[in-house]
A and B are shown apart, each in its own frame.
Chain A
Amino acid sequence: MKSVSRFVLALMAGTMMGSAAYAQEAPIRIALMTDLAGPTADYGGQGGMEAIKMAVEDIGGSINGRPVEIAFIDHQNKPDIAVTKAREAYDNGTDMIINLSNSAAALGVMEIAKAKNKVVIVTGAGSSKITGDACSPNTVHFAFNAYSLSNAPVEALTRAGDDDWFLIVSDFAYGLSVEGAVTGAVDQAGGKVVGTVKHPAFMATDFSSYALQAISSGAKVIGLSNSSSDTTNSIRALKEFGLGDDQKMVAFTLLINEIHGLGIDQASGLVYATAFYWDRTEATREWSKRFYERVGKMPNMVNAGDYSGTLHYLRAVEAAGTSDADKVLEKMHEMPVNDMFAENGRVREDGMMVHDMYLVQVKTPEESKYPWDYLNVLETIPAEKAFVPLEQSECPLVAKD
């Protein structure tokens, strides 16, 4: 009899351990998919990895007793690899994929997420299609897009009387879509585009001819409708060939890492819009210093978006009590986003997480007092003005009256 009860006890203990083990075997799986080491690694890479880890740590490493597991996937900037690996990850139990630098990769993975009913959070790509005609109920777009980066600077400068523009345009999809957005915004604000010059994307290292044409046009503002090394090389060339004192430079896609690489004397005076500046509030400073200790550089808006997006997702899982995509997405749309990245951000029907954007200007070398002290925040662009109004949205999910 004694031996039997012992056996029963052992059995019970065994089942209990079994169920505990079962709980641990069903983790919440999230994956950072990005360019881990390639030419756009500033949009993901090491910074993205640490940002995600920080979000998971800050929420305590587990939710409702389920541990959070993180995977890092390198899409090598190739949309086909991104799509294949996303399908593989979702099939192996991944609940959410975040970042997706490179718009083509993002649009491809969005399709997979929709087909498999999983969650995707885009932070590293800026195409307006993501929440436009290609929008998806499974996608949430954090951080920035082409509209939010181009509209505000154009509006602010034209309002201040800098109303004739010359554009240096990168001759590929993103550059042209920014050109379109800028031209529209300039017209609307009552200014005019006096000239444009197109250059091959990511192939030219010599921007002197374009700079010369821009400077000699005499336009009050020179707008850079390009990105990454094309933007920084344009800025250098404009400075080298003697940008006039009465001429301003505006960039439409710039990360703080690029200002760091250029040096503040080259970039000073440059105006652009950003979703995040590390030195803006007490909360951003505190978080950014923690980030700096781990990565060795200050976070850019994509890194901050990765953190905020992950945190928002995990909080939604917590509130929903499940990682089931439909319920989590419902919570993500319902709950406001409040963290160091966004104050009272909210996810709209088209999937855009709308939040304040900031119009910033690069400081002069004299104004900069400590490392990474690069920007003056000129004005805060309220969420409702920073993003394309819903009534103009091309997203089929937006109910039209």
Chain B
Amino acid sequence: MGLKTPEQFLQELTDLHLNIYLMGQKVDDYVNHPIIRPSINSMAMTYELALQPEYADLMTATSHITGRTINRFTHIHQSREDLAKKVKMQRLLGQKTGSCFQRCVGMDAINALYSVTYETDKARGTDYHERFKKYLVYLQDNDLVADGAMTDPKGDRSLAPHEQADPDVFVHVVEKRADGIVVRGAKAHQTGACNSHEVIVMPTVAMRPEDADFAVSFSCPANAEGIYYIYGRQSCDTRKLEDNTLDVGNARFGGQEALMVFDDVFVPWENVYLCGETEFSGALVERFAGFHRQSYGGCKVGVGDVLIGASALAADYNGVPKASHIKDKLIEMTHLNETLFSCGLACSYEGVEMPAGNYQIDMLLANVCKQNVTRFPYEIARLAEDIAGGLMVTMPAAQDLADEKIGPIVEKYLAGQCDVPTIDRMRVLRLIENLTLGTAAVGYRTESMHGAGSPQAQRIMIARQSNMEHKKALAKELAGVGKPWDPPKAAAPGGGAGPDDGEKAKGDAE
């Protein structure tokens, strides 16, 4: 099996018969549910572009294990160029979907596990790495989507996993059998979970020996017995239930998150990649987070491209494209967006080859990248709203525009630049609303803040890697700290070394 078509992906997703709940009801036909379908279309785009020759350089790679052509989302990075192409691929997909396309979490999970399983085996004599490589070939050869599941609900944040009143707030092993383990718990905010063939679970925090039951990593089919999903609400999501494409802003694409519950799920040993080796839990968390923080330097930039374009169109349709303050705001948006891209590329081009043979991003720069992502999209969104104007949030509904009596009135009074149909002006304003306040704002704003770790998580990593002693040494050297002091000579009679005299001396020199 080589690269799959979007149609094959849709059929396979249908055949999984996932247990999905949405607004208190089980959804059997989730592939055609109007709230869920746009997020499926985004995922399908990762298949569609991989089949197009003009995007193959970014969307596909050569498996280092089999030598076969695979979707880059299942690839283990083999060079710094691979790391950079990952970021560029993500920008491309952000541009094409204007939303979160969800497949990055699995890619970041496999790349983190690849090196951590190798190092665990070296230290502990386990055989996780070979197990994982077999699983990896299965993902690559079948072009599967894997959900990288890390974030536990975490309960009381001041307590370690084993100290929680309810241990289920962290996924943990409840039983070890000869043929495998049984796990229980949940993973929160799972991007793309209801779009995945497979689930790859990782621990969410660094752990101590007492947390051994919680230091567990494994994979299983997304439809394994005991797994169910509670679909996350998004701002303005019920607009998708209305029979119109205008008011949703982006009718074709969207993102998704879900609460994923593991209700005593059995996992065979061949799919277990960490089980009790608590000292490797932290490394797995840091590496997955590092890769995912790199990801945001691509995906959010692509969505930013769409928002900047929509803002420029809004300015055109409002008749103010030549206003200097509008041009300046578009320049500022572009500057911020390209700065994020620069960070994504920088941490890629400064990546290193790990002992396992795969390439990993520069951790400091990846954290700097994500720290900027917690801020810049908000500023880009603010400027987009500034350019769009208040009509973005006060426009009448699509039903009003379609109404026989009111429609012409809406058409007349919402007209902007005279060559542009009112409907197109409304479409662009709704797209900006979608990205800044609607369903896509989940991905572009709040996910930029908390996805791949909240801002403080990056600041901790930045502090650890800031090499502050080197910076202090540089300053000491230039300031002469610790060197013998040669005090100025005593002032000669009639002269001195005070400020006035200094100025005089300077003037003399000139």
Q: Do A and B come from the same complex?
A: no
Measured CB to CB, the residues of A under 8 A from B are none
